[in-house]
Amino acid sequence: MAQEDLGIFKKEHRKTASLESLMSLVKIDLAQVNALILERLQSPVKLIAEIAGYLIKSGGKRLRPVLTLASAQLFNYQGNKAIGLAACVEFIHTATLLHDDVVDDSILRRGHASANQIWGNQASVLVGDFLFSRAFELMVEQESLAALKVLSKASSTISQGEVLQLLHINDLTMTVEKYLEIVHAKTATLFEAATRIGPIIAQKSYEDEKKLAEFGRDLGIAFQLVDDVLDYTAEEALLGKAIGDDFREGKITLPVIYAYQMGDQSEKSFWHKTMVNLEQDKKDFNQAIILLKKYQAFEKTLSLAEQYIQKAKQTLTTFPISPIREALLETCTYVMSRHS
């Protein structure tokens, strides 16, 4: 089921917003980040370079390290710490994905077979550990204790968020607040750390640090909420991962929480059967979509995401106009309009 069919993503967003301006402004730095990532993937143990390389190269948009580079640029940072710290952010992200796929027993990741499918869970766990360690080595080399504090704290918050998510994986009665707490911890924390690094290494005020942290957090929460909707509505080829994963795994996300809360007894039973007991037949995914649409669960989720995006934009507009600020504002719009 494509987004067009649902008509829930605003047309003006689809037409205009892209990551192009942002990408072109950080292009030179990003090339250095990519080179550093490839260099630090190396290990005398070839399997490590193979697995880590497979994941890192199959790529994604490098949104998190790009945000680090952009936040450094916003404060006119001229030093050389941004490159290493951006690479470090991507390593943490990739390590988290590897362990996530083990925990979720995923089959696809970014449109390719997931690492655990190819090399097994054992290697995925250990190579994830390697990437975490490499991230910390890279951090330490930058010799910024303040950045180290933010990133090590972020890493521990993320793992706590992951456990919290595991505990609530098929908890239909989860509140919206609890769900947002999980999203904040497991997804938005790395965005928050990524954008906070700019003012830190540029040695700006604590006030600026706080603003950029808020900006990253709001953007990250919106990003995850849009992801939750896309997992039901995107075209598989665009999303780059299996559509309906959350449903099949019984992973309760915000659209389902809304539909469950508003559902009648027989609908509640449907959610219970499919997402808690994981008794699913072929028609159930379509039935889920029907119920989610009945209660405007996608619209509500996207409308909440839009609130976070508006807040992120407001925070940004407290800084003087500049090409990088405008590109970050467009990034906010892009997050709301993305197809993948």
Q: Which residues bind its own copies (CB under 8 A)?
A: 43-45, 47-48, 99, 102-103, 121-123, 125-130, 132-134, 136-137, 139-141, 143, 145, 148-149, 152-153, 155-156, 158-160, 162-164, 166-167
* Least distance between its own copies and beta carbon 51 (Å): 9
Q: Which is nearer to its own copies, 189 or 233 (CB)?
A: 189
Return d(Cα 40, Cα 131) in angstroms, integer: 9
Q: Which is nearer to its own copies, 186 or 311 (CB)?
A: 186
Return d(Cα 228, Cα 253) in angstroms, integer: 6
Q: Which is nearer to its own copies, 33 or 48 (CB)?
A: 48
Q: What is the bridge-based pairing of β-strands 112-113 and 108-109?
A: antiparallel
Q: Which is nearer to its own copies, 103 or 202 (CB)?
A: 103
* Least distance between its own copies and beta carbon 12 (Å): 40
Task: Return the closest-CA partner of residue 91 out of 39, 15, 24.
Answer: 39
Q: Which is nearer to its own copies, 12 or 141 (CB)?
A: 141
Q: Is the dihedral of CA 233, 314, 183, 173 positive or negative?
A: negative
Q: Which is nearer to its own copies, 124 or 315 (CB)?
A: 124
* Least distance between its own copies and beta carbon 151 (Å): 8
The burial of 269, by beta-carbon neighbours within 10 Å (0-12 exposed, 13-18 middle, 19 or more buried), is given as: exposed
* Least distance between its own copies and beta carbon 32 (Å): 21
* Least distance between its own copies and beta carbon 129 (Å): 4
Contacts of 69 (CB under 8 A, 6+ apart): 26, 29, 30, 33, 82, 83, 86
* Beta pairing partners, 109: 112
* Least distance between its own copies and beta carbon 153 (Å): 6
DSSP state of 209: H
Return d(Cα 11, Cα 14) in angstroms, integer: 5
Task: Return the closest-CA partner of residue 63 out of 100, 110, 16, 106.
Answer: 110
* Least distance between its own copies and beta carbon 202 (Å): 20
Burial 305-316 (b: 16+ CB within 10 A, else e): bbebbebbbebb
Q: Which is nearer to its own copies, 12 or 137 (CB)?
A: 137
